[in-house]
A and B are shown apart, each in its own frame.
Chain A
Amino acid sequence: MHELGIAFHIADSVVKIAEENGAKKVHKVSLEVGEVSTIIPDYLIDVWNWNCKRVPLLNGCELEVETIHAITFCDNCKQTYDTVPQGKICPHCGSDRTWLQTGNEVNIKDITIE
């Protein structure tokens, strides 16, 4: 259960930020999750909701997941392409010297507190 560890890490960071800002309660956490970050949003939301019941500051806190599109950059022909259908090999020139530009993120974007 890979999402469980991720949910604990998000919860720890959110509680820290909320306490620093004198929050009584956290209502919503917005997350940016890359398309190829290996996180399944549905699973993450499930374990998040379970974990929120154990943390008073996060009781009933909604987790909103925004997907970030995965784009790969080709070092050989200097063009970019969509990662998901294509993978590691550049569709323009066939090179495998390609690097993921976006799509691997797991960021806390913002939190809504009271």
Chain B
Amino acid sequence: MDPYRVIEVKQSIFEDNNQDAERLRQQMKEEKTFLINLMSSPGSGKTTMLTQLIPRLKDELKIGIMEADIDSDVDAETISHQGVKVIQLHTGGMCHLDADMTRQGVMELGTKELDLVILENVGNLVCPAEFDTGAAMNMMILSVPEGHDKPLKYPLVFTVCDTLIINKIDVLPYFDFDMDKVTEFARRRNPDIRIFPICAKTGEGMDELAAYLKERAQNLK
């Protein structure tokens, strides 16, 4: 008998992850905890945006934050001063979180009593978009200095996100960033994408974003 056997597999490599993600989504739904996966490039202002968002929501929603990074705990340290539950996840060199890592984070954080959990994914516009984390909502930040052409260059992340935050609008006068163009390019990827222009430094636009996220989280109940 030939010692070699060929096994037909025909399975997407994302299939295991997609199943893990679906299980986690179901679990969070039963716990009535709204999980947001927040993605962006490094330096677009994810953590700063959270320091503006948390004070606007924490009286009405019990919030938990999961900070994912390759290394360090600088973001978790910043967020810990906001008076919400926070944990730091280390991906150990990997450029993204998958559903199983997210599930471990959720267990570590203890989400049963929480209304809203925000997962701050690794700063990267490529890999995090490919791995479903099991979040109920994908949200991303694009900051003005990065340029309005990013939906053309990183189409997948704009396709999987239903909410796009444009941060650092205070520096618009100094950059060739075209708000109409970014809207057009993003809608090409996702016709229903919601766009919130904000400045996380001054808080401009944050009330609208906070109200929208509160409504989404409460709709889960």
Chain A residues near B (Cβ < 8 Å) = 1-2, 4-6, 8-10, 12-13, 17, 21, 27, 31, 38, 88, 96, 105-114
Contact = CB atoms under 8 A, between A and B. Distances in A.
B96 interface: yes
B131 to A, nearest CB: 7
Interface string B1-30: 001111111111111110000000000000
Contacts of A4: 93-95
B6 A1 contact: no
Interface residues of B, number: 26
A107 B10 contact: yes
B98 interface: yes
B137 interface: no
Contact of A107 (B6, B11, B96): B11
Nearest to B15: A13
B11 A13 contact: yes
Contact of B10 (A1, A106, A108): A108
Nearest to B8: A110
Main SS of the interface on chain A? Answer: mixed
A108 B9 contact: yes
The 3 A-B pairs with the shortest beta carbon distances in the complex, nearest first, are A108-B9, A2-B127, A106-B13
A5 B3 contact: no
A68 B9 CA distance: 17
A10 B12 CA distance: 9
B3 A109 contact: no
Interface string B57-96: 0000000000000000000000000000000000001111
15 contacts: A2-B95, A2-B126, A5-B98, A9-B16, A9-B17, A21-B5, A38-B126, A105-B12, A110-B6, A110-B9, A112-B5, A112-B6, A113-B5, A113-B7, A114-B5
A79 to B, nearest CB: 19
